[in-house]
Every structure is written in structure tokens, then in C-alpha cells.
């Protein structure tokens, strides 16, 4: 693999490039946003207050890392805990339980791009209505338990395998997610296609996922790479990138014919780096790999909670460049769209909020700034916490910035709870 491509697929490149965009912001060289550094304290104060409200004064150590597990247990229903107990009673050991959780979390996270403002899922048996990430989590759990993601249905064991994913139809997903004309979801067909592609890629890596292409076999592979019950995030990341890069939509950015996933050209990087690195075709590319990072954060949790394993190099992961974290900075006044970008977005939406395609230069710059700003605000939040309290980035994302972004959106736009900048979603990015 070309060294430049390998770099763009790395975690280091995400933060490196975002720092360059931040340098452009400080120099007044952004293409689409103005930045208001005098509002940083407002963001740090707001997020800190949310964390202290929910976990203070002495429960900060109970903050879970940002991950899918919590979404399954919406409304304080221990759905995952109940599953684990059921599997234990049926004779599954901790290794097999972890495999099954990885199976479930894998497909659920890959499906977890924005559902839109209108979609709801009604939980069978309870009648409870869920939306957005929690709705997708609960819907995917019920599909998992109904053996929707496996070709081996005769054993009635809930697992995920490559053939099962390859055979998944758009109609299967439509039915499982209760999608109708009256209950629309963004990007149903692209989501189904993504799972089918995932199935093919799993089967193409039998050395890790077995001849049946089961995501849960990743557990066995990572245990083999561990030392003293410690697993390296960087090794984990390379495995996930090798598996997932081939599955993303074919219209994504490529370098020399090699796909690079959730990574996009950015005019700000071109202005900052293009002149200095004219021979480097990748200098103007900003990587994010958001869904893969979200998957990494989510899959790390069962290894720790069920198997008691520890992770090293977890600090290499970045904040997630998505609309809740990014919306927080817009709603609280740190970022504002320049006049030309705002007018273009409003013209496209025909409404009160601007809208852009996911690959639009405006959105790419917004996402890059989100990465850089969250690194800065993370330090400010830690400085505001009580003496002796240290939170990881994953904990701050969970209990702080992501939750704060959602809450401020609900306050400002109670009808839709949408982001202040809308993104045309195909179900494969956010």
C-alpha cells in the first residue's frame, strides 16, 4: 500500500490534519466559517455543567465510555444485561458472550448513521417509541434476536455471519426498522447495501473472521495479539480499516485507485498545505473515519466489561466528527457560517436552516474544526472538574459533548431536535 494512503487511513492523520485546519482558523484563513474564540468558555462551562448535573459530586467514575452499549439500554431497560444473563443460563461462556456482543454491536454501529427527524421505532411488546441512535440500536437488537443477520438459522442462535449479511435485502431492513411512507428513514437502501458489502468483506478475511465470516471471531484474533491481557487499539484499528475500507460507497475519494473511506478533499487544507506540498496529492485530504471510530469505541467495551481486558493507545482515538459534537459549537456561537456559505445552504433547503451534501466543502471544514475544537475544549473541561477527577475523551464524549449537543439542539429546535446545519444523509456517513 502507498505510504500516503496508509497515512490517510491512520488515526494520527485525523488529528494531524485537523490541527492544520485549526491553524488556518487562527490565521483567519477558513473558507466557510468564522470562529469566535471568546465563546470557548461558554462551551466548556455548558458541557461541564451537564457532566456535573448527571454525575456529580461523586459518581464521575461511573461515566461509561462513549459506545453503543448505552443506546441498547435506553429507558433504563437492561437489554444487554438481560441478553448476557440468558446466554449464561443457556451455557455460553464469557468468550462466546463477547463474540455475540461483537456480532451485535458490529451491525448496529454500521447501521447507525442519521435516521432523519421523522423516523420512529415502536418496540414490540412495550409500545415504547424510540428515535435516532437509540431507535436504531433497539431495532437492530430485535433483528439480531430474530436471526436476520445470519444464514445459519437452524440452530436458533443469534449470531452474525457473512452469508447472512450478503443475503440481507432492503425489504428485510425496511420491515425490521418499521419503515413506511408515514415513517420514513434516510438511506435505507444504502444501509442495506453497506451490510451486504460488509458480509462480502468478512468472508474475504477468513484468517480473522473464519470461513463463515463472523464478526465475533475478532475476539479470538485480538486475544492472540494481546500481551498481559492488554490489547493495542492501533492493531485493532488496522484490522477494522482493512475490513471496512472496501465496503464504503464507490463514489468516495480515492488515491491512485485506492479507496480511503471517510476522507475528503478540503479547500482549507489545499490553501494551507498545497503550496508547501505540491507533489503530495494527499496534502489536501482530511480524513475522519467517523463510523469506524464509533465502531472502535463501541467494540472496546465488551472486551473490558466481559473479559476484563485493558486497552493501550486508546488516546490515539479522536473525538467524533458528527453533527451533535459539531452542532454544539454552532449553537453556542463558537462557529458561524460565512455569508456566502449560509446563503447557499439556505437556498438549498428553502427553510430556516442551511443544508449541504455530506461531501460539501462546508461540511468537511465543519467536521475538521469539530475534531480540533473538541481537543481544545476537552482540556478546558478537565480543568473545571473537581480535584482528582480525570475523564477520558471517551467519557467526555458520552456524558459531555455529545449529550450537550443533543440537549442544546432540543432546546433551540424542539420540533425536530435537528442540528443547526443540516446534512443530506445517505445513511453511510453520519
Question: pLDDT tens digits, residue range 270-313?
Answer: 998 765 665 677 899 999 999 999 999 999 999 999 999 999 99
- Angle between helices 40-55 and 323-331 in degrees, nearest 10: 120
Rounded to whole angstroms, the Cα distance separating 178 from 134 reads 14
**What's the pLDDT score for residue 277?**
60
C-alpha cell at 9: 487511513
**What's the pLDDT score for residue 1?**
64
Task: State the pLDDT confidence band at 425, using cuts at 50, 70 and 90.
Answer: confident
Helices (H), 251-322: 267-269, 290-305
pTM for the model: 0.94
From 116, 113, 107, select the one nearest 183 (Cα to Cα): 116
Q: H/E element holding 379?
A: helix 361-384
Please, are residues 277 and 270 in contact by the beta-carbon 8 Å criterion? no
How many whole angstroms from its chain centre is CA 324?
11
**What's the pLDDT score for residue 414?**
95
**What's the pLDDT score for residue 279?**
62
SS3 148: coil
Rounded to whole angstroms, the Cα distance separating 284 from 169 reads 37
**What's the pLDDT score for residue 352?**
96
**What's the pLDDT score for residue 317?**
97
> What would the pLDDT profile of 154-170 be if each residue is shown by its tens digit?
888 999 999 999 999 99
Looking at the predicted structure, is the pLDDT value of residue 203 above 90?
yes
Rounded to whole angstroms, the Cα distance separating 158 from 143 reads 9
**What's the pLDDT score for residue 278?**
57
Rounded to whole angstroms, the Cα distance separating 147 from 154 reads 10
DSSP string, 326-353: HHHHHHTTSEEE-HHHHHHHHHHHSSSS
Rounded to whole angstroms, the Cα distance separating 94 from 99 reads 9
Q: What angle do CA 392, 394, 398 make, to 5 degrees?
A: 120
Instruction: Return mean pLDDT, the chain.
Output: 94
Amino acid at each position: 500500500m502507498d505510504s500516503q494512503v496508509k497515512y490517510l487511513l491512520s488515526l494520527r492523520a485525523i488529528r494531524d490534519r485537523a490541527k492544520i485546519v485549526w491553524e488556518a482558523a487562527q490565521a483567519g484563513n477558513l473558507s466557510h466559517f468564522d470562529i469566535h474564540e471568546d465563546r470557548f468558555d461558554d462551551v466548556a462551562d455548558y458541557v461541564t455543567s451537564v457532566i456535573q448535573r448527571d454525575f456529580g459530586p461523586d459518581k464521575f467514575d461511573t461515566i461509561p465510555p462513549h459506545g453503543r452499549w448505552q443506546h441498547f439500554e435506553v429507558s433504563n431497560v437492561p437489554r444487554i444485561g438481560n441478553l448476557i444473563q440468558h446466554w449464561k443460563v443457556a451455557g455460553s461462556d464469557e468468550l462466546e458472550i463477547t463474540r455475540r456482543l461483537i456480532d451485535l454491536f458490529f451491525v448496529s454501529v454500521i447501521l447507525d448513521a442519521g435516521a432523519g427527524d421523522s423516523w420512529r421505532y415502536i418496540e414490540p411488546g412495550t409500545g415504547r417509541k424510540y428515535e435516532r441512535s437509540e431507535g436504531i440500536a433497539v431495532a437492530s437488537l430485535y433483528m439480531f434476536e430474530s436471526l436476520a443477520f445470519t444464514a445459519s438459522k437452524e440452530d436458533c442462535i443469534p449470531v452474525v455471519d457473512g452469508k447472512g449479511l450478503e443475503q440481507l435485502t432492503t425489504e428485510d431492513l425496511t420491515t425490521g426498522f418499521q419503515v413506511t411512507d408515514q415513517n420514513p428513514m434516510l438511506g435505507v437502501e444504502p444501509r442495506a447495501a453497506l451490510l451486504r458489502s460488509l458480509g462480502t468483506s468478512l468472508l474475504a478475511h477468513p484468517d480473522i473472521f473464519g470461513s463463515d465470516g463472523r464478526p465475533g471471531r475478532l475476539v479470538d484474533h485480538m486475544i492472540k495479539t494481546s500481551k498481559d491481557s492488554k490489547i493495542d487499539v492501533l492493531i485493532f484499528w488496522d484490522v477494522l480499516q482493512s475490513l471496512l475500507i472496501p465496503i464504503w460507497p464507490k463514489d468516495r475519494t480515492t488515491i491512485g485507485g485506492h479507496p480511503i473511506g471517510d476522507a475528503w478533499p478540503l479547500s482549507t487544507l489545499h490553501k494551507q498545505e498545497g503550496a508547501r506540498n505540491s507533489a503530495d496529492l494527499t496534502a489536501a485530504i482530511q480524513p475522519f473515519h467517523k463510523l469506524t471510530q464509533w465502531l472502535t469505541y463501541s467494540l472496546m467495551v465488551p472486551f473490558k466489561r466481559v473479559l476484563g481486558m485493558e486497552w493501550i493507545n486508546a488516546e490515539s482515538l479522536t473525538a467524533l466528527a458528527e453533527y451533535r459534537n459539531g452542532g454544539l459549537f454552532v449553537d453556542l456561537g463558537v462557529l458561524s457560517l460565512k455569508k456566502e456559505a449560509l446563503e447557499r445552504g439556505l437556498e438549498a433547503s428553502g427553510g430556516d436552516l442551511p443544508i449541504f451534501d455530506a461531501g460539501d466543502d462546508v461540511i468537511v471544514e465543519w467536521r475538521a474544526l469539530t475534531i480540533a475544537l473538541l481537543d481544545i475544549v476537552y482540556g478546558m473541561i478537565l480543568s473545571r472538574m473537581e480535584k482528582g477527577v480525570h475523564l477520558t475523551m471517551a467519557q467526555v464524549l458520552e456524558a459531555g459533548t455529545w449529550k450537550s449537543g443533543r440537549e442544546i439542539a432540543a432546546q433551540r429546535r424542539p420540533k425536530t431536535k435537528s442540528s443547526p446545519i443540516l446534512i443530506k444523509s445517505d445513511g453511510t456517513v453520519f
